[in-house]
Every structure is written in structure tokens, then in C-alpha cells.
Amino acid sequence: MNAKPIVKWAGGKRQLIDKLIKHIPNNYNRYFEPFVGGGALLFELLPNYAVINDINKELLTIYRCLANKKYFKSMIEELNFHEGHHSEEYYYQVREEDRKPDFLITPIWQRAARVIYLNKSCFNGLYRVNSKGYFNVPSGKKSKVNTYDFDNISKLHRYFITADVTILEGDFTDAVENAAKGDFVYFDPPYDSFDDKDSFTAYSKHDFTKQDQIRLYNTYKKLSDKGIHVMLSNHNTQFINELYKDYNIQIVKAKRMINSDSKGRGNVEETIITNY
């Protein structure tokens, strides 16, 4: 009963799924995904016990609504409302909401529906914020917007209310604190940049730097030393190859789906790094 992501997310792994699946361990206890984003692998596997995490507050409102019957119903009503009112002007009104002082006390289902609606109607379908953390993608100028696939979103709602899924918000290090021997952790961080190209890191107002990639390597090693199965994906850069030289590095080709500069689209090499 696998499902698909609800939002298109920069660095989303939907198109790499077949390759990722080949590298997951045969057996594991709990599933951890500390950079969950659109959740392509989580929704393919639908594990019975999962701990998911992201630093992006707004994204997580969607998963929190999927995990609660009342919030879910209200989010769907709100999405229907957005679809019915969609226009260029309406898009910019909804986009402005995060600039308002009371935005963070807006009901969670309204914030979740806003993220989905903006994701489906904005240019290129991505979530990008400016240095203040405000969503700043222009309208995609669509005349009609479908915000959800009912079968898929219902499947995900069923998944979140029946499986044991913990939703955490914060830095990846805290999300794996309770991982233990026999668990499986999949890290899909913001990409390391190729020297000549900018990578997308505007998921939140915090950038993901080379220092963060090193911090992630240290976490990877610590988990690996504890007997946890660890898989990580990233660009095939020299820096990543040097950091993870003691582990198994597989190189795969992927289509770069989202880039603000259209010259940056095309095939890129990615790595899938496992400790098993």
C-alpha cells in the first residue's frame, strides 16, 4: 500500500526511489528519517514504527494534520476552499499570511493547507523562503489548481493514524538520539554543492553549510559504531567522497528536478552511502 509525497520538495527523492529501495537493509526495527522533507522514501516504505523530523515548521504542520482526524478533516475543507478561490491575486494574499504577527497562532490545519496550496500553485512547485523565513516564490500563473489526490492523501492519513509515527521538529542530531542497534536511519540532507554550481538550501532561514555536512558525518559515524543501519544520499562531490571514504559509496544518476536556474537542470550524479 505504498503512497506518494503530498508536496513537491527540493531534493525530493521520488525519482530515485527504485535505486534507494535496492539499498535499504533487509531487516530493521524502527525507521528514522531526520530530514524528511516530502517523505518520498517514508511513503514508499510506510514502516510500522517511524521517527520523522525536519527543521521546517510549516512542512511539519502537514504531517501533524495527517496524524489527527479532526485536523485532517479541517485541512481538506481548507484545501477545497483554496481551490475554489484560486486566482493570481488570491495566491499572493495567501502567500502574505506568514508576514502577519499572528501567523504562528493560526490553526494548524490552515497553516498546513496554506503550504500545500502554495506548493501546488507557485512557480516550479517548491518551498523557498527568504532570509527572514518568509515564503517568497512567485505565482505559477495557473488558471486552476488541484491541491491533493484524494486516494493518496486518505492512504497517508490512515498510515499516520494506524502506525506508530513520532513527528519531531529540530536539528537532525536530536532526532536520532534514541536510535538503537538494529534500527535504520536514512539521512537525506540538503545537498553539498558542486564547486561550480549553487545548491538549493533555502528550505528554512538556516543554511546547511560544509560544517553541517561534517557534523552530519560525525553523527553518521556515531550511529554506525552503535550497530545502527545507516544510509545517506548526497551529491557525488569530492568532499562527500572524502568524508565517507570508510563506508560503501554507490554512485547513481539522477535528474535534477528543481533549480532556480534552468541551466542547472539535467542529469547529476548522486551518492547512496551505506554502512552495511
Ligand X SMILES: C[S@@+](CC[C@H](N)C(=O)[O-])C[C@H]1O[C@@H](n2cnc3c(N)ncnc32)[C@H](O)[C@@H]1O
HSE of 44, CA atoms in CB hemisphere, 13 A: 18
Regarding 172 and contact with ligand X (CB under 6 A), the answer is yes
Closer by beta carbon to ligand X, 24 or else 74: 24
Q: Which helix (H) or strand (E) holds 159?
A: helix 150-162
Q: Does 31 bind ligand X (CB under 6 A)?
A: no
List the x/- string, 196-225, binding to ligand X by CB under 6 A.
Answer: -------xx---x-----------------
When binding is defined by CB under 6 A, the residue of 55, 62, 94, 118 that contacts ligand X is 55
Compute the least distance from the CB of residue 41 to ligand X, in Å.
6
Rounded least distance, CB 215 to ligand X, Å: 8
Which of residues 28, 34, 159, 273 is near ligand X by CB under 6 A?
A: 34
Angle at 29 between CA 26 and CA 31, to 5 degrees: 90
Retrieve residue 240's grid coordinates: 562527500
Contact flag: residue 97 with ligand X (CB under 6 A): no
Interaction between residue 54 and ligand X (CB under 6 A): yes
Q: How far is the CB of 255 from ligand X (least distance, A)?
A: 14
Q: What is the DSSP string of 50-105?
A: EEEEES-HHHHHHHHHHT-HHHHHHHHHHHHHHHHH--HHHHHHHHHGGGSTTGGG
Of 47 and 190, which CB lies nearer to ligand X in the complex structure?
190
Amino acid making up residue 74: S
SS3 (DSSP) at 122 = strand
Give the residue carrying C-alpha cell 536514512.
186
Size of the site for ligand X (CB under 6 A): 23
Report the residue from 12, 113, 187, 232 that binds ligand X according to the rule CB under 6 A. Answer: 12
- Residue 99's CB is within 10 A of a number of other CB atoms, namely 10
**Cell output for 30:** 524502527
Binding site for ligand X (CB under 6 A): 5, 9, 11-13, 34-35, 37-40, 53-56, 171-172, 188-190, 203-204, 208
